Chains A and B, each alone.
Chain A
Amino acid sequence: MNDHATIIEWTSICDIDDIVPDTGVCALLDDEQVAVFRIGAGDFYAIDNVDPVSEAAVLSRGLVGSLTERIVVASPIHKQHFDLRTGECLEAPEYSVRTWQVRRQGSTLQIRRGDA
């Protein structure tokens, strides 16, 4: 906890208004792709952008919605659902993805690794 070296810095990626409510965008962080979603006016979630089923970098382009209590995105390739809070693939948990942390600084959106 106190070891400074393990704390990864937050990275600003875009303005909040760059994301249309209830859609996603893709951010480049070093050489990793992160899908960042805006649900309604002010809830944000981030998961890996690469769909592990098709290996295409497309999750940011999926339709978001809810399934019972979960908030999910559907892959545009074969429609598997990924839980935006946990990264779990509902249809095939072995294909689950990582989540990333998101925060607002004013009107700027920042992300960092979920395990930081």
Chain B
Amino acid sequence: MTMKLVVIGNGMVGHKLLEELSALRPLGLDITVLCEEGRPAYDRVHLSEFFSGKSEYDLSLVTPGFFDQPGMHLRLATRAVRIDRAIKRVTTADGEIIPYDKLVLAMGSTPFVPSIPGNDRPGCLVYRTLDDLGALAGWGARSTHGVVVGGGLLGLECAKALRDLGLETHVVEFAPRLMAVQVDDIGGQILRRTIEALGLTVHTGKNTVEIVDGETARHRMKFADGGYLETDLIVFSAGIRPRDELARQSELGVGERGGIMVDNFCRTRDRDVYAIGECALWGGKLFGLVAPGYEMARVVASHLHALLTRKQSSGLPEFAGADMSTKLKLMGVDVASIGDAHGATPGSRSYQFSDGRRQVYKKLVVSEDGKRLLGGVLVGDAAEYGTLLQMMINGLELPEAPESLILPASGGGAAPGLAIDALPATAQICSCNNVTKGQLCEAVIAGATSIGALQAATRAGTTCGGCVPLVTQIMKAQMKRQGLVVNHSLCEHFAYSRQELYHLVRVERIRRFDDLLARHGTGLGCDICKPTVASILASCWNEFVLQQEHVSLQDSNDYFLANIQKDGTYSVVPRMPGGEVTPDGLIVVGQIAKKYGLYTKLTGGQRVDMFGARLEQLPLIWEELIAAGFESGHAYGKSLRTVKSCVGSTWCRYGVQDSVGTAIDLEHRYKGLRSPHKLKFGVSGCARECAEAQGKDVGVIATEKGWNLYVCGNGGMKPRHAELLAGDLDTATLIRYIDRFLMFYIRTADRLQRTSAWRDNLEGGMDYLRDVIVNDRLGIVAELEAEMRHVVDTYECEWKRAVSDPAVRRRFHHFVNSDAGDERVVFVPERGQIRPAAPTERRRRHERIPVVVETE
């Protein structure tokens, strides 16, 4: 039997249903998906990131080939206009008729636009789809002022987008505070102050009565209190309304304030029609968050699967409502709302903590007897969110003094964390992907003993990432229970982690690998510990890496100060700080490449890479580069690579700061710094972010007032946006914070751990990092700055030193007993340059030699 399933809507929830069905691989299911938009499902939760650099492709939720599966038919730009339940048919706007056996409605919501006269003027927009964003970008380019009507969760997201577009941004809210649903008055005030400090203007308690032509801008918004505001564009983000018109037309049962009524299996009053996501009304409630929508999708998928496989429906998962707690980051500000945030439960008591300096506010709502957590609000610092949420959901008993849960730790004692063991196995840890504590523990038992492996096995923490700290704790607790030691040993020669070795080197002032090995290790060392210790020694004492005592520790790249390639030749990268290079400099690079027959290519870090240099050519090439004023680019080292920059205020019409100058200063400051892994920087001269600084370990973006500092981003295999560490810094403070950040990373990271992975493993995450770097929570920033000063003050160009040291130069020969080169290195021409010969091409060449001899 074939079941014809029609799904109307391919939003996040509709697509989740398809994914769940696809994973169950039921036989005989034929799915037609009607998608109103011209593109399939994308991530609406992270929509505003479209303006901070994410592409349509980044946001897509469709894995390649998904809709090519047999039995899956996607109709894009196809709107359903009518449902005939009696004959089980859907009619599209083009008049096409599609029959169904089962129908799922996943049409989502539309933005609510208040009925204000003038709300349809050109430049009055909404914010829900990628097309809306396209319109917003178009209008944004022709505007200097923007207003968002609505100071809720979506409104503030949208305000961020306007700010990212470079507009002077205002938020107009009808209620007396921002995020009225999620936070209370004090929380709203703190949120407002923080957002205003970022350069936005907030108007609360404003009722817009009319929009008319403006005098200084396109529109004038008139308020009920007689005031007005002029702006070039207006975005309405004042809530959403369920898309239930098809249900109304087909008499499916709709709630008083909208929403298609469904039961626990998400079925409407018609047993063959389901509704899920924001358009569904369950228990009199609408769910405007993605997690409950996903849960509904899972319920419907297993229900359909059971029907297909003729299983009893008893015991199937049912939708049981959802916890509407939320945690989000708005313009770098953490905001979280848990359960009964307003203390609406009769008899409930509350505890509050606020810190005016750090702009942090925390509130707990507890039951009358003080034993159970009912809810809470966190603004400015939501580190406790995961713990509090689990305490509330699982009804765990609160500690004697519940306030200790939100008070800052004093006297070095840590705040009481969540007793992981107290959580039941059924506790849902990842709500996005519905992963329980029990499932996590099972995965650990099955061998997933790293956070990456655990994520791959369970998908926990892979959507919003909010539960990762908790997932990590559960993993560690389970490993401990199994007697598995969380083994931090670097390798068989040292029973210490990189961080511990770093401390040993610092504290005992050890300067030689042999000393460290004799005191704290065994054996001869290996290709893991030698380069690691070499890097630590260089970070601490900054001695020449090729001096006699250190040279045998260096990986081939550091040993020859160049990047080894697949054929044993090397590539050469001279430093071009900030990507700036003179015409004469470029000519010299070109002449050298030509003279030595090197292949040239521009790197992603804005400089020139020359490939195909033989060992014996390296010192000769560098002598010429040094004579032309170039220095080592450290492309071979686990060290600062480049500081990429855009052209900045010097030339660019939009630039607000001198990004090139700052990039050059930063590159000169940190060049040669050895670190646990490579480091990449970027500096952008305005919010347009042309230097892609948010994809770097250290990203600096100009603001009107100074610089925003982002950290812990990277490109590569697992791209990751950097996060805001501090905003509107002057240049001196910027450099101090980067000094501290880099040295703290060098102190505490694992071997070959990029800053993003390091940040994921820092308990307390970005809030903790900010506390250490900005607020000096550990009391170490003076030390960190002094350590960096030593490295900066003792910089020397390694290549300059190498070419002038006869003992070092002697090593740059392929043979110890001959001046010949390596004859196995063979190049063939391609597109006017050389490339390494493939093994077959090389063998052909070798075979040809005797033939030539014979003919002679």
Contact = CB atoms under 8 A, between A and B. Distances in A.
B68 interface: no
A17 B174 CA distance: 83
Nearest to A68: B492
B523 A66 contact: yes
B568 A56 contact: yes
A98 to B, nearest CB: 16
How extensive is the interface on chain B, given as a class?
35 or more
A54 B318 CA distance: 56
Contacts of A102: none
A32 B842 CA distance: 16
Interface stretch (B11-19, B548-556, B765-773): B548-556
How extensive is the interface on chain A, given as a class?
35 or more
B818 to A, nearest CB: 5
Contacts of B523: 65-66
Contacts of B839: 55
Interface string A49-83: 01000111110011111111001101011010100
Contact of A56 (B567, B811, B818): B567
A67 B822 CA distance: 30
Contact of B816 (A14, A56, A67): A14
Contacts of A81: 527
Nearest to B843: A55
Interface stretch (B381-389, B558-566, B595-603): B558-566
B564 A61 contact: yes
Nearest to A22: B552
A72 B817 CA distance: 23
B527 A63 contact: yes
Interface string A40-54: 000000000010001
Contacts of B566: 54, 56, 77
Nearest to B513: A22
Given A25-B816, A27-B817, A61 B559 contact: yes
B751 interface: no
Contacts, number: 101
A28 B529 CA distance: 31
Given A61-B560, A64-B524, A36 B568 contact: no
Residue with the highest number of chain A CB atoms closer than 10 Å, among B493, B567, B825:
B567
B822 A57 contact: yes
B525 A65 contact: yes
B530 A65 contact: yes
Nearest to B822: A57
A26 interface: yes
Contact of B824 (A27, A57, A71, A77): A57
Interface in B394-441: none
Contact of B530 (A18, A26, A56, A63): A63
A36 B816 CA distance: 10
A59 B581 CA distance: 37
B140 interface: no
Contacts of A63: 526-527, 530-531, 552-556
B353 interface: no
Interface string B611-653: 0000000000000000000000000000000000000000000
Contacts of A50: 824
A9 B298 CA distance: 77
Nearest to B568: A56
Contacts of A56: 566-568, 824
B717 interface: no
Residue with the highest number of chain A CB atoms closer than 10 Å, among B530, B810, B842:
B530
Contacts of B553: 63
Contacts of A55: 824, 839, 842
Interface of B: 492-493, 523-527, 529-531, 548, 551-557, 559-560, 564, 566-568, 810-811, 814-818, 820, 822-825, 839, 842
Given A50-B824, A56-B568, 15 more contacts: A13-B816, A13-B817, A23-B552, A26-B814, A26-B816, A27-B815, A55-B824, A61-B559, A65-B523, A65-B525, A65-B530, A66-B523, A67-B526, A74-B526, A76-B556
28 contacts: A13-B816, A18-B810, A18-B816, A20-B552, A21-B552, A23-B552, A25-B816, A26-B814, A54-B566, A56-B566, A57-B814, A58-B564, A58-B568, A61-B564, A63-B530, A65-B493, A65-B524, A65-B525, A65-B526, A65-B527, A65-B529, A66-B526, A67-B492, A68-B492, A71-B524, A72-B526, A77-B566, A81-B527
Interface of A: 13-14, 18-23, 25-28, 31, 33, 36, 39, 50, 54-58, 61-68, 71-72, 74, 76-77, 79, 81
